[in-house]
Amino acid sequence: MPKQKVLIAGASGLVGCAALRLFSQLDDWDVVAVSRRAPFAMDQYRARFIPIDLLDQRQCAEIFGQMADVTHLVYAAVNEKAGDLVRGWRDREQMEKNLTMMRNLFEPLSAAAKNLRQVSFLQGTKAYGVHLRGNRIPMPYRERYQRHQHDNFYWLQEDYVRGKQAGQKWHWTVFRPQLVIGEAIGSNLNMVAAVGVYAAVQREAGLPLSYPGGPKLVTEMVDVDLIARALHWAADASTARNEIFNITNGDVCIWHDVWPAIAESLGMEPGQPEPLSLEKEMPKHAGQWAEIVRKYNLTSPSDMHAFVGESFALTDGGFFYGGSSEGSGLRATLVSTIKLRQAGFADCIDTEDMFRKWFKRYQELRWLPPAA
């Protein structure tokens, strides 16, 4: 059987980098990775990297118009609004920018790649309006529900792909992960880096690791390597064709309860919860972080923002900072993953084990100080 060839867009981000790691290890796949900046340790992968700005229509036409042998597309590129991450999710200009990026890639690619078989792309729980106030649809959120009526670039991209598919042989798959946990530098959606930097500053100050979030929230997360395996499964699974799937680790968690395992992974004692906006407070400690990088001879950027991106804002949201328990003492954001399991993908990982895995990985890479 001839090799299949996957194009991974957004290869320097959490999901794209994980897909790059997995597909480049498989002998029956050729891999092309594209993003504005090179993924970490790109030279370790059996893959070709092409730097590209997906907002540059002329560059995209030149590069993707020559990719006649691509059989699969993993589209994991996203443009977040710098300095205004959360409000940017509702910004119409930002939505159009993300649609333009996908169109700039897919128009020349689909014209050139006559043997294209499958397109996978990402949405998320914002599809269910979790970032908005007001009426909520029933929970756990299920893929079969009608669209939550709000503006979202997810809908722009999905409608575009559906429209392009008419009369074609290829199929699409959408994955909707909960909070994604994994490995990347400079990602705007990387809670491990954000928590790791916060913890390092606390430890250097001789303080315990206090949970900085709000009221208790029952939620789910997903290991980025699990997403990569799902992307590989969807590449050829007939049950994944033209389907939308929620994807999580398979368990639920409360940040307050998983916090001791996180503290242990970082060589710290958990303190009493102390609500704190990391987005507002952590930039004040940029100098301390730079000193930590020097002290421990870390390989991560000494520039805090270059390492964490906009992830402090994401972490505030994930921690439910400033949220209200509305008298119940407990809130929940849960999705159903029954559809994905019934379709044939049943992989899972314990969320505490996932955090131990990733903090250990960051320490091995010397992105964070050693635990001891």
- What's residue 132's pLDDT? 76
Judge contact between 174 and 158, C-beta under 8 A: yes
- State mean pLDDT over 149-154: 87
pLDDT in tens, 73-84: 999 999 887 776
Task: Report the 10 Å Cβ neighbour count for 169.
Answer: 9
Instruction: Tell me the average pLDDT across 130-148.
Output: 84
Strand, coil or helix: 126: helix
If you average pLDDT over residues 339-363, what whole number do you get?
98
pLDDT in tens, 156-199: 999 999 999 999 999 999 999 999 999 999 998 899 999 999 99
User: Residue 1: pLDDT above 60?
Assistant: no
Q: What is the DSSP string of 155-209?
A: HHHHHHHHHHHTT-S-EEEEEEESEEE---SS-TT-HHHHHHHHHHHHHHTT--E
Cα separation, 15 vs 27, whole angstroms: 21
Fold type of domain 186-220+252-335+349-364? Rossmann fold (3.40.50)
pLDDT for residue 136 is more than 80: no
| Tokens encoding 103 | 């169109």
Residue 89 dihedral angles phi and psi, to the nearest 5°: -65, -20
pTM: 0.95
| Angle ∠(300,46,303) on CA atoms, nearest 5 | 15
- Domains 4-180+224-247 and 186-220+252-335+349-364 belong to one CATH topology: yes
Residue 233, pLDDT above cutoff 60: yes
pLDDT band at 326 (very low <50, low <70, confident <90, very high): low
Decide if pLDDT at 89 tops 90.
no
Partner residues linked to 6 by β-bridges = 31, 72
Quick one: which of 2, 1, 40 has its CA closest to 21? 40
Which residues lie below 8 Å from residue 58, measured CB to CB, with a gap of 6+? none
Q: What is the pLDDT of residues 239-265, one digit of tens each?
A: 999 999 999 999 999 999 999 999 999
What are the tens digits of pLDDT across the range 28-70? 999 999 999 999 889 899 999 999 999 999 999 999 999 999 9
Helical axes 224-234 vs 14-23, angle rounded to 10°: 60
Question: CA 174 to CA 242: how far, in whole Å?
Answer: 8
User: Band of the pLDDT at 85, cuts 50, 70, 90?
Assistant: low
Average pLDDT, the chain: 93
- CB 122, CB 154: distance < 8 Å: no
Q: Where are the domains of the chain?
A: 4-180+224-247, 186-220+252-335+349-364
Fold observed for domain 4-180+224-247: Rossmann fold (3.40.50)
pLDDT(72) > 70: yes
- Checking if the pLDDT of 99 tops 80, the result is yes
pLDDT, residue 202, reads: 97
